[in-house]
């Protein structure tokens, strides 16, 4: 009964966080921990751990790594990176059926206990980040006055497939709210002939968007500066929708830090490999941003195992 109450409390707290401002890692972590705690009160712990801590993260990571390795090898030929992804993904998937066996038979062995605890900690982070991303991709609840489209690298000097999807998603939203302003955000990379925002502006004009509805931000160099530079076009009373693709959650976290009140619209990337690589990259970027806090959590998990 106590376990069920704790789980319910975590879920309710998660709902409160989501209702107040879902642009936080806690929007995924609290409901996930609540569901996991709830399950441990209904079914054996090892089964709950296998379902929530093993199946999801191993399914994601194994599929991502194996697919990316195969794609890299088939497209670019023999490479260390391709084999690393292919073999690594295979080994990750092989570990899945071994986890419950290790838990049931050798969980009292210190090295096994530490391995399972560290893996479980990492898996919880993966699951929670995925859930937070899904929650932040839920349908919009505002009528935007500003639509901020984040740039992506130009391909051969023009709009590539990822940026095209973002632009089409933002323009479709603009068609629903024609009084909103479009903010094209993207500077010029070393390998680009012009700022991304300029190419985005040209694309929008070709689609019939009037000049008066477009604002250009051409100074940014990454996602963080996209938000900081675009702030000059955003007023305190604006309702902003941020349009991007797979790095939706990190973009929204940056927007929250910058004091930009917004919701996110995620467009699907045109190739599965883009999505796979993006998920790994985004989780890695989030880990680097919060490396001290995440490292502290890992140290506490190890200490608890040694007690």
> Which pLDDT does position 15 carry in this prediction?
93
Residue 90 confidence (pLDDT) above 60: yes
Confidence at residue 216, expressed as pLDDT on a 0 to 100 scale = 93
302 has a pLDDT exceeding 70: yes
Q: What is the mean pLDDT of the chain?
A: 82
> What percent of the chain clears pLDDT 70, i.e. is strictly above it?
87
Q: Which of 187, 194, 149, 196 is nearest to 169 (CA)?
A: 149
Q: What is the 3-state secondary structure (H, E, C) of the chain?
A: CHHHHHHHHHHHHHHHHHHHHCCCCHHHHHHHHHHHHHHHHHCCHHHHHHHHHHHHHHHHHHHHHHHHHHHHHHHHCCCHHHHHHHHHHHHHHHHHHHHHHHHHHHCCCHHHHHHHHHHHHHHHHHHHHHHHHHHHCCCCCCCCCEEEEECCCCECCECCHHHHHHHHHHHHHHHHCCCCEEEEECCCCCCCCCCHHHHHHHHHHHCCCCHHHEEEECCCCCHHHHHHHHHHHCCCCCCEEEEECCCHHHHHHHHHHCCCCEEEEECCCCCHHHHHHHHHHHHHHHHHHCHHHHHHHHHHHHHHHHC
Q: Which has the higher per-residue pLDDT, 183 or 87?
A: 183
**In which band, very low, low, confident or very high, does the pLDDT at 227 lie, cut at 50, 70 and 90?**
confident
The model's pTM: 0.76
Structure confidence at residue 266 (pLDDT): 84
Is the predicted pLDDT of residue 80 greater than 70, yes or no?
A: yes
Token pair, residue 265, equals 């619209």
pLDDT tens profile 102-156: 767 776 778 877 877 787 788 788 888 888 888 988 888 889 999 999 988 888 8
Q: What's the pLDDT at 50? A: 60
Task: Tell me the average pLDDT across 272-282.
Answer: 62
């Amino acid at each position: 009964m106590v376990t069920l109450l704790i789980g319910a409390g975590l879920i309710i707290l998660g709902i409160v966080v989501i209702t107040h401002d879902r642009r936080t890692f806690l929007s995924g972590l609290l409901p996930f921990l609540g569901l996991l705690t709830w399950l441990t009160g209904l079914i054996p712990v090892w089964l709950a751990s296998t379902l929530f801590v093993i199946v999801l993260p191993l399914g994601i990571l194994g599929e991502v790594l194996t697919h990316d390795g195969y794609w890299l090898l088939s497209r670019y030929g023999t490479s260390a990176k391709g084999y690393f992804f292919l073999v690594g993904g295979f080994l990750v998937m092989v570990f899945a059926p071994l986890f419950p066996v290790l838990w049931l038979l050798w969980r009292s062995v210190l090295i096994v206990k530490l391995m399972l605890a560290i893996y479980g900690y990492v898996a919880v982070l993966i699951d929670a980040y995925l859930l937070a991303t899904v929650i932040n991709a839920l349908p919009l609840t505002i009528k935007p006055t500003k639509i901020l489209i984040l740039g992506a690298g130009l391909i051969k000097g023009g709009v590539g497939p990822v940026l095209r999807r973002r632009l089409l998603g933002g323009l479709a939203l603009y068609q629903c709210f024609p009084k909103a302003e479009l903010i094209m955000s993207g500077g010029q990379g070393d390998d680009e002939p012009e700022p991304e925002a300029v190419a985005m502006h040209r694309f929008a004009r070709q689609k019939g968007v009037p000049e008066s509805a477009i604002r250009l931000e051409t100074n940014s160099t990454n996602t963080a500066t996209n938000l900081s530079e675009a702030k000059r076009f955003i007023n305190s009373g604006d309702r902003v929708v941020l349009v991007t693709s797979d790095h939706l959650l990190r973009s929204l976290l940056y927007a929250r830090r910058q004091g930009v009140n917004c919701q996110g619209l995620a467009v699907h990337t045109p190739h599965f490999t883009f999505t796979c690589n993006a998920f790994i990259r985004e989780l890695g970027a989030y880990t680097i941003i919060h490396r001290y806090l995440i490292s502290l959590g890992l140290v506490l998990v190890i200490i608890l195992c040694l007690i």
